[in-house]
Structure 1
Amino acid sequence: MARERATALLLDLDGVLRRFDPAVAAGVEREYGLADGVLSEIAMQWGRLQPVLTGQVSHADWMSSVADALAEPAGGPDRAQAAVQQWQRYRGEVDTEVLDFVREVRAAGVRVGLATNATDLLDADLTTLGLVGELDVVVNSSTLGVHKPAPEYFQAACQALATPPARVLFVDDEDWAVRGARSAGLSAHRWGGHADLRYLRAALTH
C-alpha cells in the first residue's frame, strides 16, 4: 500500500538544524587540563542526562552535577565550574542550508515542527540562534516530560502539528529516534547531510 504524502515535517535540532564545533569543547578541555571528550562524556551519562531531558531538573542543575564530577580532574570545584561555564557559553551554530530548506517548504505550505530532546534552556537557545518564528511548533522533551523515542513523544508532536502521524515526515541523525518515529506511525528519514535535502524536498513539495 502506498504511503500518504507527507504534509508536515518534524526536524531534530542537534545534528540536523544546529551543529556544534567540537574544537570549542576540545579547547576548554585543553585549557583546564581535562581528558579529551570528558565534558560531553560526563554530561551525556544517561543517569545524569535523562532527568534534565524530562524536566525533572534544570539545565543549571545538570551542569552543576557535571562540574561536581569534574572537580577532582580539573583541580578543584572552582576550576571545574569555570570550565563548565566556558564550555556552555557556546550554544552551537545554525546549519543555514537546513534553515533555508525549512523556509522553502514552509513557504510551500508544509508545517514544520522542531522535535528535540532538550532542556529548559531551549527557548533561550532558539532566541540566541535566531530561530524564533522559523518553525510552526517546538516540541521539547523537558516540557512534555517524555523524550524521543517514546511513542507518547511522537503522538504529542503530531498533535502539536495538527497532522496525523501517517502524514508527518520525521528527520533525525540518530537511528534509535528514526526507529521510534516509524513505530509511532510516522515516515522517518535518517539524516546524513545536505545531500539528503533533494530527497526531502521531493517528498514534501512535489
Structure 2
Amino acid sequence: MAALYMKYLIPGLFAYGFLQNTLRFLQTQSIVIPLVVFSAIPLGIHFGIVYSLVNKTSLGFKGAALAASIFIRISFLSLAMYVVFANKFKNTWKGLSLESFHYIIRNSKLALPSAAMICLEFWAFEILVFLAGLMPNPEITTSLLAICVNTESIAYMITFGLSAAASLVLLRRFRSMLLELE
C-alpha cells in the first residue's frame, strides 16, 4: 500500500525540485509575503482536489497522493509566474548565462553531503518504524514509534526554519559588506 501511495507521488517530485529552487531564489532576496500568498492559494484549491479525488473517484487513498502532486505543481507554477511577471525581478532575471554554472562543483561539494546527512537521518527513523514491526505487539509499538518520529519531525522543522532565517540574515549582511567594498 505504501509503495502504491509513493508511486502516485512521483509526478510531483520534479515539480518539488523546481519549487524548492524558486523558494530559495525568493528567500535570498528577502521576499516572503508572495511566498505566503502563493502557498495559501494552492492550499485552498488542494482541499477541493483531495476531497474530489478521494471521495468522488475510485482512486481512494491514491487520490490523496495524486492531489499532493497536483498541489506541488500548482504551487510551482504560481510562484514561477510571479517571478517571470513581477517588475522587481527585471534586473535580476535576464535569462540563463554561462556564469551561473561556474560554481556548480563548489556548491555540489557542500550540497551533496548535506543532503545525504539529512536523508540518512530521516531514513534512520523510518528504519526504526519498520523494525518496530518485528517487536512483540507490533501494532502498538509501530504506532508509538511513528508518533515519536512525527513529533521529532515537527520539532526539527522549527529549528530548520530558524536556521534558514538566520542564514538569510547572514547572507544579507555579507551581501551588504561586499557592496560596501566595491
TM-score, normalised by the number of residues in structure 2: 0.32
Q: Relative CO higher for 1 or 2, CA cutoff 8 Å, sep ≥ 6?
A: 1
TM-score, normalised by the number of residues in structure 1: 0.30
Higher helix share: 2
Larger Rg: 2
